[in-house]
Structure 1
């Protein structure tokens, strides 16, 4: 006797709310460039998607922010669960990683969050919660299409080039100085398109592995994901939600390099957003097959090892800074910042950081949520182990524990490995998170609640 096929009643709702901060807040994103917001070049938004199969509801929310620590996502999940009944373990909250948003981190670049920024964090927690609650109130019958394509025209590059002087590239370098790239890229553009019974778009959840750091003005800006989302919403309707793939070491080819490059980057960010939106549009129009799907979510707390705070990598920092076209004052300030951060981390006397892993499954689609800036090699490894599924990595999900570099990266040195609150995990952390993520995926597949198993 054949096994009875489950029939799902898929529903979806989406919403977005403006979260643009007041002018005058401290911005974050660049260790060597202090910025106070003097204006805005776009609005910042939080966008939320709620999916239901009549048994389970899950949430995916993405915000135009550099990151969100667990202290904030915990509050959001608590508010949403109290208001809607959706369990916190079914809520995935991530950041677009725009480098032109307000400082949200408690401690970053040698200083604690300013009081005016702290007031904003309280407001943004409420706004993100409201966007999710609003999406829950908009639930309507829907079908889901999951597919992907390849961005192969030079959008992104592995930012950790080995240069002729033996340093790993930071920002000031020429192509003639490059010996080789030290890692790959992930060209996959993942698209989950949800549309209603009338075939109108409810939401486009898309995923791409590239830092949102094309722009470095003293103005709020959602970077290329904001442009792509705006274009997709105008073309298809509904809400377009960006999630960042594993891109701890992936930047746009046309990224901010120096003060002279700022005018060029204004054009580059437009170009990047348009190219990504065009690619997603092609994928939707040529590849998607829509169906009702089962939905499930699993979340697990994990203890991630921190490195031993015995020595700051001063020699590597100084050698790299010697290569930069920064003033002597800025170089000295950067080094002092790293010394302050090292002292702060050492004083906390912690061996591990407790954080969250999450897997959301919809039909044959998997979203693997990682709580930091995962190097692309790890993302590709997870995908490689799950070839029978449409797997997308969502970094900066539910927490921010900083960069998660490979063992090779630690050996080569470079910015992403220098000890700071933005880079504090041990060289074992990446492999541990891959292993635990795959076990969580195996567990959710075994549950069989989405009725998809290969």
Structure 2
């Protein structure tokens, strides 16, 4: 009887829910509002020092969508601006709420991050243009009013394009012997923007890319386009005079291709390009950078993106939808200067007087004084649901990795992440990136939030997505393809896939739970080897990049014979130091290298580019050259004091060494470095498996992927 009434009750609730959904009609209204200043010259933002322009190359606009389902009403506005401060946006939202049926916490306003738009917010050496702000505020309120008046019945659909040729990592890791100075005179810059221009200076990118071109499309029930909200992770292109950069051109291109003719019966179609997570992203791929090669123009870049967007658009399926929105506000601290730095900064600022800063040192000295006065700030994070589509926001210049964290763990099948929304709170590097330093980490209003800001904001965004979805987030876990399964079938004592999005735990995916610990000096979620066999179709194999740190684990179960299998990618030039890098070590922390077993690649006058095996002080080199920035499979076996090292599945070992001193009782294993931290690995290591026995040559060959 209990089951019967439970079933009846469940059916009743379901019918009630379906009835409410059926009664709710999705309506959408959209508008483009011209926010081009009327008074010139106007200050533009996005440079380290201040500049003004007097000419308009392309108009700048606010592009606004209001969405209503009969129960809830929300608005999304994307503004051609470099950054928009939260207090200004709070004022705009309050005024808009007075003149529309919108609530202040149901309004999302984001900046495109055009570096050629009027300055609405002070940052680095540029102040806000106080003459422009009242005009912008008035036009923004008009935009919400006009979009609401355009509400009409609509359906919604999701599209996804893939545009890897149009986005790339601009932040690269420098060699440990080629650090650069920060604005405070200290050699702290281990990673920096555009360092990849000179391959001799760097070891590789500092993070992953996100090539997704996401589309949320709204059309009338009879199929007429109403609006399309796109999102892409590419910082900005760069343009002259006053300009909406590629964002405005893309939006105009959508209209030209989808709805070139306006109708007297309906409002004009509105195309929008919002800014994806692009804090460490630009358009130039330094992996293949050729200074003599033809580059994109802003027009060809935009047209190429439009081609990809329109192909994805053609496949969109539309449906009815209900909506939800939630936001949270939190207080975050600034990284304020200590007494010594503040004294240094104040002396420079006093010398400047009323003048604007002109040098990097002057700019960052002034920023220290600002941060010291501010101490902390309030930020806004939002989550939006439109049917089965989720939108998360950050008020920051957010790294691509953070966007991937939100997308891959989202409770929604489809998720878009819009950055620089509801505030302009600067860069939020993941905590491990602070250790590497560089422009994105230098304390300023443009990058001044506390080191833990990124995980806090990402967690808040994920929680809001859960809230509007009404279900929990999914925990991202890399799938086991056939090559990963081969390793598991051989029963490793530990298997570290190195696919983490963050440290400090390196998960052992075997059943033995020998989890490792990442040290500082490791970054995450870069491309690994052979995605087609290590993962499921369409999934990228992910790995860690070592930049001075190591992964350390302790295994009591291995005492004597063992095998280590690993994929390595060396980022260091082989003429840089005596040992290019040690990728594996079996020893004790802080002990001399004469104790234990160490595997690496030789350097200057020491078998450059060839494998090195050092056993208790005796070192032997392999024969083959390992090319920089290529993936190679290395296996080392130890059996009764006989060590053999195999490369890329070859049946003949590269190194064959007998050591009478082998077999010491050591339980520590180091990946990405040596036990004494000498000449640690500079590059990637992936798919690391430890076995408590010596694998046979046939088993070793079975693990190699050609």
User: CA deviation digits over 1:324-347, x for unaligned, max 9?
Assistant: xxxxxx997111111111122123
Contact 1:229–1:277 (Cα < 8 Å) also in 2: no
Partners of 2:366 and 2:97 in 1: CA distance: 39
How does 1:3-402 map onto structure 2 within 5 Å?
3-4=14-15, 5=18, 6-7=21-22, 8-21=24-37, 22-31=39-48, 33-105=49-121, 107-110=122-125, 112-113=127-128, 117-152=129-164, 154-164=165-175, 165-166=178-179, 167=189, 168-171=191-194, 174-177=197-200, 178-212=202-236, 214-217=237-240, 219-237=241-259, 238-253=269-284, 268-286=297-315, 288-310=316-338, 333-348=359-374, 350=375, 352-386=376-410, 388-402=412-426
Contact 1:16–1:131 (Cα < 8 Å) also in 2: yes
Contact 1:248–1:374 (Cα < 8 Å) also in 2: yes
Partners of 1:58 and 1:246 in 2: CA distance: 22
**1:447 Cα deviation after fit:** 8.7
What is the RMSD computed on CA atoms of the aligned residues?
2.4
Partners of 1:312 and 1:96 in 2: CA distance: 37
**1:149 Cα deviation after fit:** 2.2
What SS does the aligned partner of 1:12 have? strand
What SS does the aligned partner of 2:65 have? strand
What SS does the aligned partner of 1:298 have? strand
**1:282 Cα deviation after fit:** 0.8
**Cα distance change of structure 1 residues 49 and 198 upon mapping to structure 2, 3 Å threshold:** same
Partners of 1:240 and 1:311 in 2: CA distance: 50
What SS does the aligned partner of 1:119 have? coil
Contact 1:192–1:204 (Cα < 8 Å) also in 2: yes
**Cα distance change of structure 1 residues 312 and 120 upon mapping to structure 2, 3 Å threshold:** farther
Structure 1 gap segments, 5+ residues each:
256-260, 315-329, 449-454
Partners of 2:46 and 2:33 in 1: CA distance: 23
Contact 2:170–2:194 (Cα < 8 Å) also in 1: no
What SS does the aligned partner of 1:290 have? coil
Partners of 1:412 and 1:312 in 2: CA distance: 22
Partners of 2:270 and 2:340 in 1: CA distance: 44
User: CA deviation digits over 1:268-315, x for unaligned, max 9?
Assistant: 2112211111111111102x110110011111111223224228999x
Q: Residue in 2 aligned with 1:317?
A: none
What SS does the aligned partner of 1:26 have? strand
What SS does the aligned partner of 2:282 have? strand
**1:40 Cα deviation after fit:** 1.8
Partners of 1:35 and 1:112 in 2: CA distance: 10
Contact 2:325–2:383 (Cα < 8 Å) also in 1: yes
**Cα distance change of structure 1 residues 283 and 35 upon mapping to structure 2, 3 Å threshold:** same
What SS does the aligned partner of 2:154 have? strand
**1:121 Cα deviation after fit:** 0.7
Partners of 1:135 and 1:103 in 2: CA distance: 25
Partners of 1:163 and 1:268 in 2: CA distance: 29
Partners of 2:341 and 2:203 in 1: CA distance: 23
More helix by share: 1
Partners of 2:55 and 2:195 in 1: CA distance: 27
Partners of 1:271 and 1:312 in 2: CA distance: 50
Partners of 2:431 and 2:274 in 1: CA distance: 26
**Cα distance change of structure 1 residues 275 and 102 upon mapping to structure 2, 3 Å threshold:** same
**Cα distance change of structure 1 residues 271 and 311 upon mapping to structure 2, 3 Å threshold:** farther
What SS does the aligned partner of 2:210 have? coil
Larger radius of gyration: 2
Contact 2:81–2:117 (Cα < 8 Å) also in 1: yes
User: CA deviation digits over 1:126-155, x for unaligned, max 9?
Assistant: 111111110100111111011212112x21
**Cα distance change of structure 1 residues 387 and 278 upon mapping to structure 2, 3 Å threshold:** farther
**Cα distance change of structure 1 residues 89 and 228 upon mapping to structure 2, 3 Å threshold:** same
Contact 2:411–2:465 (Cα < 8 Å) also in 1: no
What SS does the aligned partner of 1:193 have? strand
Q: Residue in 2 aligned with 1:426?
A: 450
Structure 2 gap segments, 5+ residues each:
1-7, 180-188, 260-268, 343-355, 473-706
Partners of 2:341 and 2:273 in 1: CA distance: 35
User: CA deviation digits over 1:187-238, x for unaligned, max 9?
Assistant: 11110010112311110001111111x2153x01111111111110111121
Q: Residue in 1 aligned with 2:565?
A: none
Count of matched residue positions in the alignment of Structure 1 and Structure 2: 414
Partners of 1:281 and 1:30 in 2: CA distance: 33
User: CA deviation digits over 1:13-53, x for unaligned, max 9?
Assistant: 1001111123311111121x542113121111110001111
What SS does the aligned partner of 2:359 have? helix
Partners of 2:456 and 2:429 in 1: CA distance: 12
Partners of 1:281 and 1:71 in 2: CA distance: 37
**1:172 Cα deviation after fit:** 7.3
The higher-RCO structure (CA 8 Å, 6+ apart) is 1
User: CA deviation digits over 1:41-71, x for unaligned, max 9?
Assistant: 1111110001111111110000110011112
